[in-house]
Amino acid sequence: MPVRKFRSVEEMNQPTWRQPADPQLYRAIAFVWELALRTNPRRFPPGVHKYRSIDEMSRVQEQRAIEHARSLAAGRRGK
């Protein structure tokens, strides 16, 4: 691992930029995906869904979000 020097504290907080095809980039992406799956496992119903209106679609999406939040809360209470 290379040693990095900083001129100020602000430089320390800069995000690490990875170049395309860098193996570290793929590891970082895999880590973020794994973390997201462990902390917020979201499941979407399979298939294509048709709605009669934007309002109906919005209601269904909101209901799914509410159910997801409830299942997360129930899972955390059960641990």
DSSP string, 8-49: SHHHHTSPPP--TT-HHHHHHHHHHHHHHHHH------SS--
13 within domain boundaries: no
18 within domain boundaries: no
Number of domains in the chain: 1
Q: Which amino acid is at 37?
A: L
Stretches in the chain below the pLDDT threshold 70:
1, 79
Question: Please, are residues 24 and 18 in contact by the beta-carbon 8 Å criterion?
Answer: yes
79 within domain boundaries: yes
pLDDT one-digit tens code per residue, 40-50: 888 888 999 99
74 within domain boundaries: yes
CA separation for the pair 17, 58 (Å, rounded): 37
CA separation for the pair 35, 41 (Å, rounded): 10
pTM listed for this prediction: 0.52
